[in-house]
Chains A and B, each alone.
Chain A
Amino acid sequence: MSDYNFAYLDEQTKRMIRRAILKGVAVPGYQVPFASREMPMPYGWGTGGVQVTAACLTPDDTLKVIDQGADDTTNAVSIRKFFERTAGVATSTHTAEATIIQTRHRIPEAALSDGQILVYQVPIPEPLRFLEPRETETRRMHALEDYGLMHVKLYEDIARNGAIATSYAYPVKVEGRYIMDPSPIPKFDNPKLSNTPALQLFGAGREQRIYAIPPFTQIVSLDFEDYPFEASKAPHACDLCADDTTYLDEVITDDHGGRMFVCSDTDHCETRRDAGYRGRLAPQEDAA
């Protein structure tokens, strides 16, 4: 263990953040302001998520950190190391083993269970921000449920592209009340927000907002009657584990147009390969 307090932040700060989280849980989808601290990482790297995680961690927790679904990318690795050093908690890459999962822009493919906490890193918590630049006005719009503008954005999408082209950070309505930005997760993940047994917390460090979705909360993605919401993904199967139900990343493999599609959730993909599934481009030595 290091000279830092458990999980880096001092106890008073964690207490302040927990209060914001409790308020967020009490009013699902409402953005609670909190006194975000400077963290030893740049804004945009998950300072909000890290603070929420720090406030939720206990010594018995097992932490998993994912970045775009992967456990082995820079952001995930450095945040995992950060908490290994400052909190000394156990870490894991397996979704089922983790009690707290900090995520950037994905929801794990494996179903979450009772007792797990999913912490999202949020760059811009205000779903109305690009439609209405004034914070005073957007707050009033939330207070008065004045949400016509959100549909104007979707209308513009259809008018310009023939379909709702928003493919990530797709706005949702929480328990029929607040409109919420689910952070830049692909809209493929939107249905997973709804009615999960896990607690979902959202932290925006630079914007100093925390919001939450309590377990078993109804989340509805906004749409039009004649252009219903559709959770889209690349129309392929994973080239490593052959799963055709997961969200896929496209990887360019050479400069002759070669490409492969792989699960963005690396843990899910590995688990399936360990179970013997093989995709089109899975390495041969694995097959043996």
Chain B
Amino acid sequence: MSATPLLTVDGIGKSYGARIGCADVSFDLWPGEVMGIVGESGSGKSTLLGCLAGHLTPDTGHVIFDTTADGPRDVLAMSEPERRMLARTDWAFVHQNPRDGLRMGVSAGGNVGERLMAVGARHYGQIRDQATEWLGRVEINADRIDDKPRQFSGGMQQRLQIARNLVTGPRLVFMDEPTGGLDVSVQARLLDLLRGLVRRMGLSAVIVTHDLAVVRLLADRLVVMKDGRIVEQGLTDQVLDDPQHPYTQLLVSSVLQV
């Protein structure tokens, strides 16, 4: 483990008028580490993720990212072009609904290739080869490369979205409920795939979910949020097996044991 964290979140707060979205959230994310953020609906998970990924502007705090070129930099103080460049090279964002993350009118190959073309790839053959390779990695048949995402099932759309995001080799992936809206068997395959990719590519990830099984499988560390604040954080197994905060205890005990 290197000496600087990949991402340092320091006192992030965002309120919607008088209502608190999230408040005083701080944590470090180390290279190669997967951080899970759990909590009930409305606990500020998605607001926090939006603030980290630059989709929302937080009211307070800093998000410091260890950039390849210039070392640690405050993302919120970056200019818009720099942030966009970061968002299509070092970062990736997997939306809960693939419709938000994909271009539904563009073929699967075009979707995967978009990020490559956005960073300057101008060779059709190479773009297509890379798209084909990535479709293979997320278990989509190469002969579907020219089909539009709307002809895909929900699980395939989600896998396509992941391929589209990982094709430029990002170092940090934000995921917002990556398995939401999928049935359990598809969820299991997707998680398996994600775990493989994350481990093989040495990615760091921040995963927001309300599904404890997802974080149990993927996350190294866990943050539990309630009413916009962190109530407990620690190693995943430690938090899930020995919850300290009453809310975490409630959360863990609410999971149905089959």
Contacts and interface: CB of A to CB of B under 8 A. Distances in A.
Nearest to A158: B124
B80 A148 contact: no
Interface residues of A, number: 19
A159 B106 CA distance: 11
A255 interface: no
B84 A155 contact: no
Interface stretch (A37-45, A58-66, A178-186, A219-227): A219-227
A225 B117 CA distance: 12
Contacts of B84: 144, 146
B109 A155 contact: yes
Contact of B106 (A145, A156, A224): A156
B123 A155 contact: no
A242 to B, nearest CB: 37
B113 interface: yes
A160 B146 contact: yes
B182 interface: no
B200 interface: no
Contacts of B109: 155, 159
Contact of A224 (B103, B115, B123): B123
Interface in B122-148: 122-125, 127-128, 145-146
A159 B114 contact: no
Interface string B176-193: 000000000000000000
A151 interface: yes
A148 B107 contact: no
B81 interface: yes
A156 B123 contact: no
Contacts of A152: 103, 106, 110, 113-114, 117
Given A144-B81, A152-B103, A224 B122 contact: yes
Contact of A148 (B119, B123, B128, B146): B119
Contacts of B106: 152, 156
A155 B110 contact: yes
B24 to A, nearest CB: 31
A165 interface: no
Interface in A125-166: 140, 144-149, 151-152, 155-156, 158-160
B110 A226 contact: no
Interface of B: 80-81, 84, 88, 103, 106-107, 109-110, 113-115, 117-119, 122-125, 127-128, 145-146
What are the 3 tightest A-B residue pairs by CB atom distance, in nearest-first order?
A148-B118, A151-B117, A224-B124
Given A152-B113, A224-B124, 20 more contacts: A140-B80, A144-B81, A144-B84, A147-B118, A148-B88, A148-B115, A151-B117, A151-B122, A152-B106, A152-B110, A152-B114, A152-B117, A156-B106, A159-B109, A159-B145, A159-B146, A225-B122, A226-B123, A226-B125, A227-B124
12 contacts: A144-B81, A148-B115, A148-B118, A149-B118, A152-B106, A155-B117, A159-B110, A160-B146, A224-B123, A225-B124, A226-B124, A227-B124
